[in-house]
């Protein structure tokens, strides 16, 4: 009985070996030859490829995901580097624009200095401005030690800014034309052709950013865009300093009194550098 079982096992092993050999032979023959495959060979080949595809598919999926993740990580790192460079570039560009603006402001001031024939001049920098009284005064970095005195005119390249009202050894306070002071009236003239119409600059509208000229007695027609300048009367402001241009004209109900609305030539929200005018006889 024992011998018979042992013999049966040997036959079984032999049969399995033969089957495996046949299958391997068929697979080898399929791979190594280009002959027409039999139906059985085709079935075996398809089965092997299907099993290979099913087994390899999850591995391929995981591999692709790992590759995709690595690529995303690389892209993210490159993005962070670019973002850092963009911020650095923006900072450099902002500094460049600020320096460019400062240079342009100073160039305008220097150009203006060449036409100030009747006055000597002193350039200064705005060092302080009260937010609560933004349109009233500014503080500049030149004072008595630099020859600055009360009532000296202060200008920028675009036109008149105001006048000095207080001085210390090294600083001065300038009252702006836009000040709320009711007494801040200036004698001005409006050029109409080769003639002038005179009046008083009497107020500033913060909302519209315009000045008003009152006290005009002339019936002369004043065109829009006419230049408004100082008259030189009052011994404070030299003649011919630009205030702005005529924007519109208003009249009363009787068409008698005129009020001229003037658009200022100076941007009073952005004053960084100024020029103080000193009469030449004051330098002696």
Asked if residue 154 and residue 136 are part of one domain, the reply reads yes
Q: Is the pTM of this model over 0.75?
A: no
* pLDDT of 143 higher than 70: yes
* 227 and 168 in a common domain: no
Share of the chain above pLDDT 70, in %: 61
Least confidently predicted of 52-61, 234-243, 252-261: 52-61
Tens digits of residue pLDDT in 9-34: 666 766 665 565 565 555 555 555 45
Domain membership of residue 242 (yes or no) is yes
Percent of the chain that is helix, strand, coil (3-state, to 5):
40, 30, 30
* 75 compared with 254, residue with greater pLDDT: 75
On whether both 237 and 191 belong to a single domain, the answer is yes
In a domain, 162, yes or no: yes
CB count in 10 Å sphere of residue 195: 10
Average pLDDT along the chain = 76
Quick one: tokens of 78? 């490159």
Q: What percent of the chain lies above the pLDDT cut of 90?
A: 25
Q: In this predicted model, which residue has the larger pLDDT, 248 or 105?
A: 248
Residue 194 lies in a domain: yes
In a domain, 228, yes or no: yes
Q: Check whether residue 202 and residue 139 sit in a common domain.
A: no
CATH number of domain containing 209: 2.40.10.350
Would you state the pLDDT for residue 171?
94
Residue 143 in any domain: the answer is yes
Who wins on pLDDT, 52 or 250? 250
Residue 96, in any domain of the structure: no
Q: Same domain, yes or no, for 209 and 237?
A: yes
- Residues 151-195 have pLDDT tens digits of 999 999 888 999 999 999 999 999 999 988 767 788 899 988 888
Band (pLDDT 50/70/90 cuts) for residue 115 is: very low
pLDDT, position 165: 92
- 84-88, 139-143, 198-202, 270-274: the lowest-pLDDT one: 84-88
Task: Kindly state whether residue 99 falls inside one of the protein's structural domains.
Answer: no
> The tokens of 86 are what?
């963009």
**Beta bridge partners of residue 192, listed in sequence order:** 195
Residue 111 is predicted with a pLDDT of 46
pLDDT tops 70 at residue 258: yes
| CATH of residue 133 | 2.40.10.340
Judged against a pLDDT cut of 80, whether residue 98 lies above it is answered with no
Taking residues 135-144, what's their average pLDDT?
A: 92
Phi, psi for residue 36 in degrees, rounded to 5? -65, 130
Residue 38 in any domain: the answer is: no
pLDDT beyond 90 at 211? yes
Structural domain of 138: 120-177+272-283
Q: Do 243 and 215 fall within a single domain?
A: yes
Q: Could you tell me which residues come within 8 angstroms of residue 254 by beta carbon, excluding any fewer than 6 positions away?
A: none
Number of domains observed in the structure of the chain: 2
Question: What values do phi and psi take at 210, rounded to 5?
Answer: -135, 155
Report the chain's C-alpha Rg in angstroms.
46
Task: Quote the pLDDT of residue 67.
Answer: 78
């Amino acid at each position: 009985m024992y011998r018979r079982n042992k013999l049966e096992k040997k036959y079984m092993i032999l049969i399995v070996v033969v089957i495996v050999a046949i299958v391997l032979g068929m697979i080898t023959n399929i791979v190594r030859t280009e002959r027409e495959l039999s139906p059985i060979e085709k079935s075996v080949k398809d089965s092997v490829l299907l099993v290979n595809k099913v087994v390899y598919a999850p591995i391929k999926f995981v591999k692709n995901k790992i590759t995709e993740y690595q690529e995303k990580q690389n892209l993210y790192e490159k993005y962070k580097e670019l973002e850092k460079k963009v911020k650095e570039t923006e900072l450099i560009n902002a500094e460049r624009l600020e320096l460019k603006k400062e240079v342009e402001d100073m160039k305008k001031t220097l150009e203006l200095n060449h036409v100030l024939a009747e006055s000597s001049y002193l350039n200064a920098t705005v060092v302080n401005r009260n937010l609560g009284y933004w349109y009233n005064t500014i503080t500049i970095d030149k004072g008595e030690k630099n020859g600055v005195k009360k009532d000296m005119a202060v200008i920028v390249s675009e036109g008149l800014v105001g006048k000095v009202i207080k001085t210390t050894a090294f600083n001065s306070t300038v009252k702006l034309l836009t000040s709320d002071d009711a007494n801040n009236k200036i004698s001005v003239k409006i050029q109409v052709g080769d003639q002038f119409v005179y009046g008083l600059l009497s107020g500033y509208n913060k909302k519209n950013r315009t000045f008003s000229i009152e006290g005009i007695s002339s019936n002369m027609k004043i065109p829009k865009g006419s230049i408004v300048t100082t008259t030189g009367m009052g011994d404070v402001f030299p003649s011919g300093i630009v205030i702005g241009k005529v924007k519109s004209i208003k009249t009363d109900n009787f068409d008698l009194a005129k009020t001229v609305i003037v658009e200022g030539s100076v941007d009073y929200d952005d004053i960084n550098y100024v020029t103080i005018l000193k009469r030449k006889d004051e330098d002696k």
